[in-house]
């Protein structure tokens, strides 16, 4: 068994981590995770940590879920991978049926991808090509400021978080951005007014408007009102642009509903999902499309209407098997309703923090929670997370926003522990 220090030294010699400044990383005391059980991760020294961010927003029932483990093993005994280009397989078919059975009415087709970003990428290309095949020239996209849709260039184009995206501005798709509808910022009305101005001026050139429904996650858990989504839906319909709801973070129960668009009772034309779909087991994402978009791609082979897009591992059967087992468990256990209750419980524990001057805001929708702390010094959010880790709770900040995102099925005792450790850590740092 390798020691933590030995593995960290070897890591530093050969690995490059995402979203990580390597010049400073060694001093942050990197944690080497070895295994997990339920809601807890264990490092190579055998120390346990409560998983307070669902291993980056993906875990649903916790780790090492017997039913999902078994489903993946059973699939391994059949086949690990077969291409989805022109061929098919039962796990891919069953998963599509199950996703559509839960999806907002009107979405009728499932296109698989591997990560959230690649699903967004596919959706953007679908929107553009679909318009072109209806005889319309729509090369423009609209995104929302503080939005995040992943790190490939198309996804970066419709995102608008300066820290992540400003560097690449010169090499992106042509995109207009509207103000964030977040309560603390412009509010839904101002955002919608901006969208209306853009669409009135050049709506016939816009193929899609991309939004993160109810919560802009990576932007700092910025929550907004359902009226924003209803307004976007109406304006998109009026101007012939597709509404793309990116539910990679918010989908599959995260906001206390199966889909965040359910809070507004709207159906987008395209919906992207990812993160929690395999309950944190394997990379898988998808675009759900409505029948009109799908039909705009039909034609003879010579018509050029094929969607020439896909990935080597598109529809990977192991990932589909994990996702099917996840959705079955969610249904059998009423996980979405449980997540809504877990979120409310966590919110109540955090409520006293609002009285602190050093706490700017607490935002929450379902289990998606952000505590914005004042930037007293550099890395205030990081300091809160460092103290929580010393108390056996793993969380990860977004700048000055301390993010809590427990697995949907986290029980009361663990929710209470997560909440109380974070309350103490926030008090220590900004109280």
Ligand X SMILES: *Cc1c(COP(=O)(O)O)cnc(C)c1O
User: By the criterion CB under 6 A, which residues form the site for ligand X?
Assistant: 115-117, 120, 148-150, 212, 217-218, 246, 248-249, 274-275
Rounded least distance, CB 148 to ligand X, Å: 6
Rounded least distance, CB 275 to ligand X, Å: 6
The residue among 107 and 117 lying less far from ligand X, judged by its C-beta, is 117
Rounded least distance, CB 399 to ligand X, Å: 15
The residue among 38 and 154 lying less far from ligand X, judged by its C-beta, is 154
Rounded least distance, CB 277 to ligand X, Å: 10
- Please give the residue whose beta carbon sits closest to ligand X in the complex: 116
Rounded least distance, CB 91 to ligand X, Å: 20
Give the C-alpha separation, 103 to 269, whole Å: 12
The residue among 56 and 76 lying less far from ligand X, judged by its C-beta, is 56
CB 188 within 8 A of CB 223: no
Rounded least distance, CB 166 to ligand X, Å: 18
Rounded least distance, CB 150 to ligand X, Å: 3
Rounded least distance, CB 188 to ligand X, Å: 18
The residue among 221 and 430 lying less far from ligand X, judged by its C-beta, is 221
Rounded least distance, CB 282 to ligand X, Å: 12
The residue among 115 and 372 lying less far from ligand X, judged by its C-beta, is 115
The residue among 120 and 195 lying less far from ligand X, judged by its C-beta, is 120
The residue among 203 and 370 lying less far from ligand X, judged by its C-beta, is 370
Candidates 327, 411, 419, 326; CA nearest to 364 is: 419
The residue among 218 and 425 lying less far from ligand X, judged by its C-beta, is 218
CB atoms within 10 A of CB 8: 18
| CA pseudo-torsion sign 312, 286, 241, 153 | negative
The residue among 92 and 213 lying less far from ligand X, judged by its C-beta, is 213
Rounded least distance, CB 396 to ligand X, Å: 13
The residue among 218 and 409 lying less far from ligand X, judged by its C-beta, is 218
SS (H, E, C) the chain: CCCHHHHHHHHHHHCCCCCCCCCCHHHHCCCCEEEEEECEEEECCCCEEEECCHHHHCCCCCECCHHHHHHHHHHHCCCCCCCCCCCCCHHHHHHHHHHHHHCCCCEEEEEEECCHHHHHHHHHHHHHHHHHHCCCCCCEEEEECCCCCCCCHHHHHHCCCHHHHHHHHHHCCCEEEECCCCCCCCHHHHHHHHHHHHHHHHHHHEEEEEECCCEECCCCCEECCHHHHHHHHHHHHHHCCEEEEECCCCCCCCCCCCCHHHHCCCCCCEEEECHHHHCCCCCCEEEEEEHHHHHCCCCCHHHCCCCCCCCCCCCCHHHHHHHHHHHHHHHHHCHHHHHHHHHHHHHHHHHHHHHCCCEEEEEEECCEEEEEECCCCCCHHHHHHHHHHHCCEECEEECCEEEECCCCCCCHHHHHHHHHHHHHHHHHHHC
For residue 316, with 0-12 CB atoms within 10 Å meaning exposed, 13-18 middle and 19 or more buried, which class applies?
Answer: buried
């Amino acid at each position: 068994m390798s020691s933590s220090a030995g593995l960290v030294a070897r890591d530093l010699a050969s690995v490059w981590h995402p979203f990580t400044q390597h010049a400073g990383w060694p001093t942050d005391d990197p944690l080497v995770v070895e295994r997990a059980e339920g809601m807890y991760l264990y490092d190579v020294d055998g120390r346990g940590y409560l998983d307070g961010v669902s291993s980056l927003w993906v875990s649903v029932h916790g780790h090492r879920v017997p039913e999902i483990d078994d489903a993946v093993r059973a699939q391994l005994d059949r086949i690990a991978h077969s291409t989805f280009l022109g061929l098919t397989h039962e796990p891919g078919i069953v998963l599509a049926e199950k996703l559509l059975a839960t999806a907002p009415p009107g979405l009728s087709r499932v296109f698989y991808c591997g990560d959230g970003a690649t699903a967004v990428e596919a959706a953007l290309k679908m929107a553009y090509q679909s318009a072109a095949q209806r005889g319309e020239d729509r090369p423009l996209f609209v995104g929302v400021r503080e939005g995040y849709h992943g790190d490939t260039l198309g996804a970066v184009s419709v995102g608008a978080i300066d820290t992540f995206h400003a560097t690449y501005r010169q090499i992106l798709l042509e995109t207009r951005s509207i103000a964030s509808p977040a309560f603390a910022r412009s509010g839904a009305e101002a955002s919608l007014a901006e969208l209306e101005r853009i669409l009135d001026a050049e709506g016939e050139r816009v193929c899609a408007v991309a939004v993160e429904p109810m919560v802009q996650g990576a932007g700092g858990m910025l929550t907004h009102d359902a009226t924003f989504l209803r307004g976007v839906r109406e304006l998109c319909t009026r101007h012939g642009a597709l509404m793309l709801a990116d539910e990679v973070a918010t989908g599959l129960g995260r906001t206390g509903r199966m889909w965040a668009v359910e809070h507004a009772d709207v159906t987008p034309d395209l919906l992207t999902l990812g993160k929690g779909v395999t309950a944190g087991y394997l990379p898988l994402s998808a675009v759900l499309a409505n029948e009109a978009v799908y039909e705009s791609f039909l034609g003879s082979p010579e018509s050029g209407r094929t969607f020439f897009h896909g990935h080597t591992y598109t529809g990977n059967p192991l990932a589909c098997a994990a996702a099917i087992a996840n959705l079955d468990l969610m249904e059998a256990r009423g996980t979405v309703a449980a997540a809504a209750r877990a979120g409310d419980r966590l919110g109540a524990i955090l409520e006293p923090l609002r009285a602190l001057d050093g706490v700017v805001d607490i935002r929450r929708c379902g289990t998606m929670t952000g505590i914005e702390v004042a930037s007293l010094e550099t890395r205030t959010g990081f300091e809160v997370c460092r103290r929580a880790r010393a108390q056996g709770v793993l969380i990860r900040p977004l700048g000055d926003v301390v993010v809590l995102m427990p697995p949907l099925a986290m029980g009361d005792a663990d929710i209470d522990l997560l909440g109380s450790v974070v309350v103490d850590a926030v008090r220590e740092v900004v109280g």
